[in-house]
Amino acid sequence: MKFVSFQIGKRQTYGVEQDGRVLELSGVEQLPVDLLEGIEKGEGFLQEVENVLRKMNVEMNSYTYKEVKWLSPIPKVKRNIMCVGKNYREHAIEMGGEQDIPEHIMIFTKATNTVIGHEEMVLHHHELTEELDYEGELAVIIGKKGRKITPEEAMDYVFGYSILNDITARDLQKKHGQFFIGKSLDTTCPIGPYLVTKDEVPNPHNLAVTTKVNGEIRQSSNTSAMIFTIPMIISALSSGMTLEPGDIIATGTPAGVGKGFKPPRFLRKGDKVEVEIESIGILTNQLQA
């Protein structure tokens, strides 16, 4: 299933994408009020949704794409988004050279205030940065609580996948000597448009990843090129920290970011960024003009 969270007028709700339309689930047959509550409910939630969709006599609000304002699948993330740094060899090299290829998983976080949805505007923050950059990534959404998760059982803890653009102010990153500020400016974490359940993505380690800026391909790779796989990431994160339903893990970006070009090609006002991941969709956002 492809879950979506969206807004109709001033009302925030959620549903599923089906045949080019959005079917609203909130309020139907006592289903959870939002997607996060559904994820927290566990596998029974998916069965309940399937049962509702099979019943032809259930009244459901249905909308075209143009009628809805897309939100991040989980509009209010409970804690910082966990991100894997330099998880593609060629990206590590473009950012510093062979010596930058990590031996161990490198983790940083983005603040929750960064999250926006598909087609929402990204602020350019021109008063703070001149080096705003894009990073197209596969996002993993955790489906159940767990700690000390082994790589062998890690995929049992995955609810589904989405697309994430880890927009980064490179000059702030360099100035402060750490990642958090440069990666936590408002609106710099578009996620969406869908949260695709894991049953629809049989092999998340073989998905084409493409990022375009104003129609020009900048990143073109495959998740098979990850240095650290999803089970390795989940196991490392949960070794001493409990993962919770709804946690979002950004699995790293391939080569082709703006900073990697010579000279660098950072985002400019009005630029349109599209991140496409096979089997999941296309996440589109435009920089404030």
| CATH code, 172 | 3.90.850.10
Q: Are 60 and 126 found together in one domain?
A: no
CA distances 185 to 101, 110, 129, 170, Å, are 26, 9, 10, 12
Structurally, how many domains does the chain consist of?
2
Residues 261 and 185 in one domain: yes
Cα 52 to Cα 10, 35, 60, 126: the distances in Å are 25, 15, 9, 47
The verdict on 136 and 158 lying in the same domain is yes
The helix (run of H) or strand (run of E) holding residue 58 is none
Enclosing domain of residue 160 = 81-287
Three-class secondary structure of residue 276 per DSSP:
strand
User: What separation in angstroms does the CA of 7 have from each of 3, 69, 264?
Assistant: 14, 5, 37
Per-residue pLDDT of the chain (289 residues; tens, 9 = 90+): 999 999 999 999 999 999 999 999 998 988 999 999 999 998 899 999 999 998 877 788 999 999 999 999 999 999 999 999 999 999 999 998 888 899 999 999 999 999 999 999 999 999 999 999 999 999 999 999 999 999 999 999 999 999 999 999 999 999 998 899 999 999 999 999 999 999 999 999 999 999 999 999 999 999 999 999 999 999 999 999 999 999 999 999 999 999 999 999 999 999 999 999 999 999 999 999 9
Looking at the structure, do residues 199 and 241 belong to the same domain, yes or no? yes
Say whether both 67 and 94 belong to one domain. Answer: no
Are 73 and 164 contacting, i.e. CB atoms less than 8 angstroms apart? Answer: no
Q: How far apart are the first and last CA of the chain?
A: 35
Which residue type does 277 have?
I
Indicate the residue type of 21. Answer: R
Q: For the stretch 158-186, what's the b/e string if a residue is b when 16 or more beta carbons lie within 10 angstroms of its beta carbon?
A: bbbbbbbbbbbbbbbbeeeeebeebbbbe
Whether residue 262 contacts residue 129, with contact meaning beta carbons closer than 8 Å, is answered with: no
Same domain flag for 130 and 258 = yes
The residue length of the chain stands at 289
Q: What six digits make up the tokens of 250? A: 């950004």
Are 118 and 259 found together in one domain? yes
In this structure, are 61 and 172 located in the same domain?
no
Which element (helix H / strand E) includes 49? helix 43-54
Does residue 106 sit within a domain?
Answer: yes
User: H or E segment at 36?
Assistant: helix 35-41
Q: Are 131 and 268 in contact (CB under 8 A)?
A: no
* Reported pTM: 0.97
Q: Which of 17, 52, 71 is the last residue of a domain?
A: 71
> Among 22, 51, 71, which residue terminates a domain?
71
Nearest to residue 132, comparing CAs of 270, 267, 269, 275? 267
Domain boundary among 45, 71, 97: 71
